[in-house]
């Protein structure tokens, strides 16, 4: 890859551009707010200009609900030979792009699994994706060249390409990212009902469990709203689990003599399952560019890397 | 304070003993498992022996449901002039101690707000309480000397004494510790339903939000079970909040045309409230021994320190 264009120079777009510049790729920066693109350029992320001839790959680093329109517009303008995006939801933008009549042989969905609480180009870091998974969700019919270039993009950013179906990706991020975000937010929102003296007792545990709730609410509304069904499914299961615990605690609290032992067991079971579930989180960041491929059938596109 | 006895030489008891030894207090170590007390003694936490004359203060570092019986037993044996405990729940042990006929003029409830995921004496650290709040919950009728010595204990451990009513304490820890623990556990338990490829995408956010769910399930059953009503109250509110979000997401997911804007607003509101609630957590650890007093009426006991 010799040239790239980043559309949307926020945290993610600018971080990608910084990584590409560091690997010698000529990188163009576009944003609907020209000032934001100039800020990114000032950080050394590339040129705040529209390329005169199509670049090898355009990265649409815009919120999920703008991906399909951005793809349609920039394919029409012939910005690049191939396209990818960086949105944290994959099925809905893919379906919208199909509905708009985009050329899907020249597009492979992407999701670099990294972020920060801060947003905007000034929070960008060229090493943001180092060692992190970068999910690729090529649809049936995606072209080999588009897949190869998207995979090369991930590797140039120091990330670990992981190929998945978009439905599986969306279920995965509902489970490991979007649902935890909602739950952490509702937990943090409860603190609005505590008084000052009570909150003074807070420790590192509360800080950790609510940290992700500090993220930008509008951005996360877009993300979670674009993956609404998958998130609703997991949350509905949590509501059921919570009701079991609330009932057990109500029994224990009133000291209802009929079933304190069973109530206690329900509580313990919930906590033991939490310990077990936590044990399933991989221990650390796996680094290296080896692609993990999870059994996806690709039409006209083999997996390189 | 010249002499102290720690009853229960687990993580908290041994950490207290190490801090007291570091300040030159003669410290006796008792545990129903003599091997555990000897392990603590081997770490330099004090003498694994029963004192021949009553010590100034005994610290009952046992789980919440054993506090009242331990107080009754050791007051009967005349282990110490005054007593405190280190349990993370205060109302129920206090009520149980009253029911057993303990001498409550010689007892002040305590709760050092610090911990680690590991348990047992080998995880103990003499600086565990440095700069942390240490809640004191003197009941009406608590003696001045018992309160002074408990406050001195907190200060000797480098903690910040905070006087509160036990009901307020229990509401506070339900909000900032016990409810987050349950919620983090249920969130982590959901990971049992993800497949390996999905979990490989997990990042620091998921690790942080579920970290406290790694705690010992039996110990936390005791803690949460002893504060059941207060925790059930907060959890029930979270269930209501969750149902609003699930309903909003179900609307957004089906694209039901009648109220997508309102559903989106419900989601944003939940996330904004999360950002606001998170903003109420005090920024860092406040150090120094100044006592924060939160307007508690003390009968026969003024607040020193």
**Domain ranges (residues) in chain B:** 3-165+285-293, 170-278
Measured in angstroms, the CA of B226 and the nearest CA of chain A are apart by: 8
Mutate to test the interface with B, among A91, A186, A204 (most CBs of B within 10 A): A186
Contact residues, chain A, for B188 at CB < 8 Å: 273-278
pLDDT beyond 70 at B304:
no
Q: Is the pLDDT of residue B93 over 90?
A: yes
Cβ atoms of B8 and B61 within 8 Å: the answer is yes
Quote the pLDDT of residue A220. Answer: 93
Contact B202 A168 (CB under 8 A): no
Q: What 8-state DSSP symbol labels residue A47? A: B
Segment among A14-18, A251-255, A289-293, B82-86 with least mean pLDDT? A289-293
Q: Examine the pLDDT at B255 and tell me if it is beyond 70.
A: no
Cβ distance A282 to B234 less than 8 Å, yes or no, reads no
Chain A positions touching B182 (Cβ under 8 A) are 242, 245, 270-271
Which comes out higher in pLDDT, residue A288 or A176? Answer: A176
The predicted model gives B178-191 an average pLDDT of 98
Question: What is the reported pLDDT for B299?
Answer: 31
Closest listed residue to residue A165, CA positions, set A111, A122, A205: A111
* Confidence check: pLDDT of B273 > 60: yes
Highest-confidence range of A172-181, A248-257, B116-125, by mean pLDDT? A172-181
pLDDT of residue B116: 81
Q: A79 phi and psi, to 5 degrees?
A: -65, -35
Cα–Cα separations (whole angstroms), residue A148 to A53, A291, B197: 21, 12, 21
Count residue pairs from A and B with Cβ separation < 8 A: 350
Q: What residues in A contact B294, CB-CB < 8 Å? A: 197
Could B194 and A207 be called an inter-chain contact, meaning their C-beta atoms sit closer than 8 Å? no
Chain B residues with CB under 8 Å of A231 CB are 249
CA distance A263 to chain B (A): 9
The CATH architecture to which B3-165+285-293 belongs is 3-Layer(aba) Sandwich (3.40)
Closest alpha carbon within chain B to A285: B203
Burial group, residue A260, by CB count within 10 angstroms (0-12, 13-18, 19+): middle
Residues of B in contact with A243 (CB under 8 A): 239
| B187–A180 CB contact, under 8 Å | yes
Task: Give the pLDDT band of residue A260 (cuts 50, 70, 90).
Answer: confident
Q: Which of A186, A242, A281 faces B274 most closely, judged by CB atoms?
A: A186
Task: Tell me which residue in B175, B177, B186 faces A241 most closely, judged by beta carbons.
Answer: B186
Span A260-267, average pLDDT:
88
Mention the CATH class of domain A170-278.
mainly alpha
Contact across the interface for A205 and B211, Cβ inside 8 Å:
yes
Label residue A256 by pLDDT band (50, 70, 90).
low
Residues of B in contact with A294 (CB under 8 A): 197
Residue A268 to residue B235, Cβ atoms within 8 A = no
Q: What is the mean pLDDT of chain A?
A: 90
Rounded to an integer, the average pLDDT of B155-161 is 97
A252·B225 Cβ contact <8 A = yes
- Which pLDDT band, with edges at 50, 70 and 90, does B256 fall under? low
What is the token pair recorded at B96? 């149980």
- For residue A44, name the pLDDT band (cuts at 50, 70, 90): very high
CA distance to partner chain A, nearest, from residue B50 (Å): 34
Alpha-carbon Rg for chain B, nearest whole angstrom, is 22
- Return the H-helix or E-strand segment holding A136: strand A133-137
Query: Coil, helix or strand for B148?
Result: helix
Nearest to B280 among A199, A224, A242 (CB): A199
- pLDDT for position B119: 85
Find the mean pLDDT for residues B222-226.
Answer: 92
Nearest CA in chain B to A91: B253
The predicted model gives A125-145 an average pLDDT of 96
- Residue B237's pLDDT is 97
State the smallest CA–CA distance between residue A150 and chain B in angstroms.
18
pLDDT of B298 strictly over 70: no
Q: Give mean pLDDT, residues B97-121.
A: 94
| Average pLDDT estimate for B257-266 | 79
Name which of B175, B246, B254 is nearest A239 (Cβ-Cβ): B246
ipTM: 0.84
pLDDT at res. B288: 32
- Going edge to edge, which strands form the sheet with B80-85? B26-30, B3-7, B55-60, B80-85, B107-112, B133-137, B160-163, B292-293
Question: Are B208 and A212 within 8 A, CB to CB?
Answer: yes
Place of tokens 């670049």: A55
The tokens for A235 are 């949350």
User: Would you place residue A283 in the very low, low, confident or very high pLDDT band (cuts 50, 70, 90)?
Assistant: confident
Q: Of B176, B219, B255, which to mutate for an interface test with A (greatest number of A Cβ within 10 Å)? A: B176
Q: How confident is the prediction for chain B on average, in pLDDT? A: 90
Reported as a pLDDT band with limits 50, 70 and 90, residue B290 is very low
Would you place residue B258 in the very low, low, confident or very high pLDDT band (cuts 50, 70, 90)?
Answer: low
In CATH, what class is A3-164+285-293?
Answer: alpha beta
């Amino acid at each position: 890859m010799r040239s790239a264009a980043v559309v949307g120079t926020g945290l993610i777009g600018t971080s990608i551009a910084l990584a590409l510049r560091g690997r010698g790729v000529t990188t163009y920066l576009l944003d609907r707010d020209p000032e934001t693109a100039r800020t990114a350029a000032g950080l050394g992320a590339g040129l705040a200009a529209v390329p005169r001839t199509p670049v090898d790959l355009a990265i649409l680093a815009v919120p999920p609900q703008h991906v399909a329109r951005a793809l349609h517009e920039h394919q029409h303008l012939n910005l690049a030979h191939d396209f990818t995006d960086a949105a944290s939801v994959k099925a809905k933008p893919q379906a919208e792009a199909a509905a708009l009549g985009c050329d899907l042989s020249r597009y492979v969905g992407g999701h670099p699994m990294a972020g920060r609480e801060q947003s905007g180009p000034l929070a960008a870091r060229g090493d943001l994706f180092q060692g992190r998974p970068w999910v690729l969700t090529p649809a049936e019919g995606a072209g080999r060249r588009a897949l190869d270039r998207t995979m090369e993009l991930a590797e140039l950013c120091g990330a670990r390409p992981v190929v998945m179906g978009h439905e599986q990706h969306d279920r995965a991020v509902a489970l490991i990212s979007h649902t935890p975000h909602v739950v952490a937010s509702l937990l943090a929102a409860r603190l609005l009902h505590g008084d000052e003296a009570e909150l003074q007792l807070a420790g590192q545990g509360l800080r950790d469990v609510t940290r992700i709730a500090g993220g930008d609410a509008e951005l996360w509304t877009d993300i979670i709203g674009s993956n609404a069904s998958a998130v609703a499914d997991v949350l509905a299961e949590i509501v059921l689990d919570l009701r079991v615990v609330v009932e057990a605690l109500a029994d224990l609290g009133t000291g209802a003599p009929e079933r304190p032992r069973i109530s206690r067991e329900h509580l313990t079971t919930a906590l033991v399952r939490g310990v077990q579930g936590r044990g399933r989180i991989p221990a650390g960041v796996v680094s290296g560019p080896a692609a993990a491929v999870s059994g996806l059938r690709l039409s006209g596109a083999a997996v390189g890397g």
